[in-house]
Amino acid sequence: DTGVSQNPRHKITKRGQNVTFRCDPISEHNRLYWYRQTLGQGPEFLTYFQNEAQLEKSRLLSDRFSAERPKGSFSTLEIQRTEQGDSAMYLCASSPGLAGANEQFFGPGTRLTVL
């Protein structure tokens, strides 16, 4: 399977705990995005990487959130001191970064539930 993969698919945690999610993009896609989706809504942009450089962060990304893409391949998204409001589906997408439409291909997501 050469699509975008995300792990874990589901995470249940208690308020105050830290969680980390992983995204493996499509090989050789140099653009990687994180989005967050709550029930009944469309995804909202969180952050963007071009290779290993994090070039944009949304205001939605509070200081409890940190993302990395150390070697320009896989990426991790960490949430510290989780709150119930962090419960959502966290989606990763990758793009080849070609000029034009910038089509993005999404992974299956990580469903986070904070109790």
Partner 1 sequence: TQLLEQSPQFLSIQEGENLTVYCNSSSVFSSLQWYRQEPGEGPVLLVTVVTGGEVKKLKRLTFQFGDARKDSSLHITAAQPGDTGLYLCAGLGSSSNTGKLIFGQGTTLQVKP
Can you tell me which of 41, 51, 62, 113 binds partner 1, judged by CB under 8 A?
A: 41
Can you tell me which of 19, 21, 48, 75 binds partner 1, judged by CB under 8 A?
A: 48
Please work out, in degrees rounded to the nearest 5, the angle formed at the alpha carbon of residue 62 by the alpha carbons of 56 and 63: 95
DSSP character string of 9-57: SEEEE-TT--EEEEEE--TT--EEEEEEE-TTS--EEEEEEETTEEEEE
Is 111 a binding residue for partner 1 by CB under 8 A? The answer is yes
Can you tell me which of 2, 27, 85, 101 binds partner 1, judged by CB under 8 A?
A: 101
Is 42 a binding residue for partner 1 by CB under 8 A? The answer is yes
Single-letter code of the amino acid located at 111: R
**Residues in touch with partner 1 (CB under 8 A):** 4, 6, 31, 33, 35, 40-45, 48, 50, 55-56, 91, 93, 95, 97, 100-109, 111
